[in-house]
Every structure is written in C-alpha cells, then in structure tokens.
Amino acid sequence: MKSQRGFSLVELIVVMVLIAVLAGIGAAAISSGLPGQQLRGAAREMAVELRFARAQAIATGREQTFEINVADKRWTAAGKRAGTLPDGLEIIATTAREEQPAREVAVIRFFPEGASTGGRVVIKRGDAAWRIDVGWLTGEVILSRGEGRP
C-alpha cells in the first residue's frame, strides 16, 4: 500500500498557530519601537530644517529665521517651510531673549556669514529626549541624544 504524502490537519493548525504567535510578537516589537522612531525622526527633521535655514542665509546673503511655537508645537523656516511635531512629543526651546516675539514663541536667526543668535531645542517624550544645539558664533547645528545641561 502506498503511503499518502502531505500534512495532517493537526500539523497545519500547529504551524498556523506558530505563525500567528510570531506575527504577534513581531507586531508588538515594531509598535513599541515606533514612539522612539517618531521622536528621533522629529528631532532629525527639525535639525535638517535649521541647517537649511542657515544654508539659505549664506546662499542668499539675507538673514533667515527659524520660528518655533512651543505651545502649538509648530515651526516655520526659510523658504516658507513649516511643520508640526507629532502628538505626544514635547518641545522646549531656549533662545536669545531679543529673539522672542511672544512668551510661547522662540526664534533662531541665521546671518549671511553663517553665524546665528544661537539656541537649544529639546524634543521629548517621557524620559527620552533629543536636543538640537545651534552655535551662535558658527551657526552650526548639532543633534544629540539627551537633554543636556540647561
């Protein structure tokens, strides 16, 4: 008598259950990583836009501003660029007092020679944070993990 080749129903069900369990574990791992990715992505985007504002100031020979509305979690930059931080993120901006048109608004100004008014922007979610430091003398924009010293 020839033996039949194939899988039994029990074997198929066991394989399906294993696939479902592994998919669930994978989905949980990915979703738990998303808040951190979102935080890092928002910080990187803001650093890129600050660098763009500096580059525009140098290229055009005109001052450029980067404005951050801390209350609304919005920013506007050179070239009519704008953005909003995702929900759940907090922003803290420290800039020169002269560049603060309102209590909840901070402005970093870039000059044609590359210098700036300087400042620090911290983007947080819970205990995790990324900071963006803008040097006043060089206008250099540095992105790093953590809040740093006030």
pLDDT in tens, 83-127: 999 889 999 999 988 877 888 999 999 999 999 999 999 999 989
Report which of 88, 142, 87 is spatially closest to residue 120, judged by C-alpha positions: 142
Looking at residue 102, what is its pLDDT? Answer: 80
The model's pLDDT over 1-48, given as tens digits with 9 standing for 90+, comes to 566 777 788 888 999 999 998 888 877 766 555 778 889 999 999 999
**Cα(100)–Cα(93) distance, integer angstroms:** 10
Alpha-carbon gap, residue 136 to 149, rounded angstroms: 17
DSSP letter at 102 equals: B
Do 67 and 81 form a contact (C-beta atoms < 8 A)? no
Q: Is pTM beyond 0.85 here?
A: no
Rounded Cα–Cα distance for residues 90 and 83 (Å): 14
For the chain, the C-alpha Rg in angstroms (whole number) is: 24
What three-state secondary structure class fits 43? helix
Q: Are 114 and 57 in contact (CB under 8 A)?
A: yes
Q: Which domains does the chain have, with CATH numbers?
A: 9-145 (3.55.40.10)
| CA–CA distance, 8 with 102 (Å, rounded to integer) | 72
Q: How, if at all, do strands 128-134 and 141-145 pair?
A: antiparallel
